[in-house]
Amino acid sequence: MSRMLLWEAVSVQDFLLMLSNFGEDTLLDQSNEASPRLILQNASFSWPSGIKALDQCSFSIPGPGIWMLVGSNGSGKSTLFRIISGMLELDSGSIYCTFKPALMFQNPDHQLLLPSCSSDVMMSIPQNLPLQSKRKKIRSVLNQVGLPQMESRPIHTLSGGQKQRLALAGALASEANLLLLDEPTALLDPDSQKIVLDTVKTLCQRSQKPISALWITHRLEELAFADGAAIMEEGRVGQWESSQLLRKRIKPLAGW
Ligand SMILES: Nc1ncnc2c1ncn2[C@@H]1O[C@H](COP(=O)(O)OP(=O)(O)OP(=O)(O)O)[C@@H](O)[C@H]1O
Ligand SMILES: [Mg+2]
């Protein structure tokens, strides 16, 4: 098992060389060393109960954008996010990640901890910044997620969609550049769902510091916002494909 992260001085070429030394094929283009990368190769993970949640899973993020994962209950999607975020270690296989990931849950109440918008975002800002810079950063990230001048708003007065966008602001404040969104709109009404989707899309498409997003969904209409989508089945991620085509293909199975 190997895990290589951004603080390790390993280039993508070195990682590919290491894999080829083990006789493993890779699914990568090697063209852009400068962009952040996430590559899993033959990644396997079992829970202590013996349940195999990831089974020789190989995939990479093709580039900036929103990449959506669909799959039936128990296919391993949330476990995969825990592996990428570093909460769990692989049993075997490799992960190479030069992104800084931030995990976002279905229910924002599980990750918003402090009473006001600014105090909550403050927790995600590097501690060594001067107070003035911290305040500027809070203003900036709240603007980026469409919550301008909300610094002193008590969190309990926010709508569900506003809470999700505040969680996004926290991720941006921490300098994360890969959002791991685990059914982030499952508890939202259609209007709030659309605003969260639009917000993430804008962050992924902006010219300065675009971010990438891996987004788990059971709501097939959300695939319209994706740059590509893949099915996760029995612990493996399939090929990325056009989200429109994938949606048509899986619509008959839409019990997800
Ligand atoms: N903490 C845990 N301890 C033991 N087994 C777990 C744990 N979390 C998940 N599993 C098991 O691992 C497998 C994959 O679960 P996971 O939560 O990753 O699936 P999922 O694709 O996210 O499903 P869903 O669509 O229902 O959210 C399932 O069989 C599940 O029961
Ligand atoms: Mg899940």
pLDDT in tens, 80-121: 999 999 999 999 999 999 999 999 999 999 989 899 999 999
Residues 144 and 169 sit within 8 Å (Cβ to Cβ): yes
* pTM for the predicted model, two decimal places: 0.88
- In a 3-state reduction of DSSP, which class is residue 27? coil
Closest residue (by CA) to atom 26 of ligand 1? 73
Q: How far is the CA of 123 from the centre of ligand 1 (A)?
A: 29
**With bands split at pLDDT 50, 70 and 90, how would you rate the model's confidence at 199?**
very high
CA of 233 to the centre of ligand 2 (A): 13
- The closest ligand to the CA of 82 turns out to be 1
| Residue identifier of the C-alpha nearest atom 7 of ligand 1 | 47
47 lines ligand 1 (CB under 6 A): yes
Beta strands 236-237 and 228-233 are antiparallel
Per-residue model confidence as pLDDT tens digits over 150-178: 999 999 999 999 999 999 999 999 999 99
Torsion over CA of 118, 120, 122 and 127, rounded to 10 degrees? 160
Question: Ligand 1, residues 78, 80, 234: which to mutate, most atoms within 8 A of Cβ?
Answer: 78
Q: What percent of the chain has pLDDT over 70?
A: 85
Ligand nearest to the CA of 57: 1
pLDDT digits (tens, 9 = 90+) for 30-89: 445 567 899 999 999 999 999 999 999 999 998 889 999 999 999 999 999 999 999 999
109 CA to centre of ligand 1 in angstroms: 21
| CB-CB contact of 110 with 76 (8 Å) | no
Distance from CA of residue 206 to its chain's centroid?
17
Q: Give yes or no for residue 76 CB within 6 A of ligand 1.
A: yes
- Residue with the smallest CA separation from ligand 1 atom 12 is 53
